[in-house]
Amino acid sequence: MNEELKKQLKKIEQEYPLVPHTHAGRLYSMVRRMNKEKELNIPIGFRSGFAISVKTGKSTNKMTESEWNDFYKSLSKELSDGYPDLFERIFSK
């Protein structure tokens, strides 16, 4: 590996570090929040708009009830499949 490539890789590593827990943390945080909003019967318009569905293009506080429920189920399944320990923290009460 030449010196210029080493410098470029080092710069990328410093300026754009890979953070392996980011996806798990965001997914856990959103499912946990949505679960509590649903539990408390918070009207959708007042729920967090943090997550945006790729399918609908809408944030969670702009969805219909059906869209919100489908999205919540999808995120919950993704959390369960990919990070079962985090899923258990939310749903094993």
Q: Which long-range contacts (CB under 8 A, 24 or more apart) does 15-18 make?
A: none
Let me know if 29 is exposed, middle or buried by CB neighbors in 10 A (0-12, 13-18, 19+).
middle
Mean pLDDT computed over 2-23: 81
In this predicted structure, the answer to whether residue 21 has a pLDDT above a threshold of 90 is no
The whole-number pLDDT of residue 15 equals 86
pLDDT (tens digit per residue) in 24-81: 988 999 999 999 999 898 999 988 888 899 999 999 999 999 999 999 999 999 999 9
Output the pTM of the full model: 0.77
The whole-number pLDDT of residue 6 equals 87
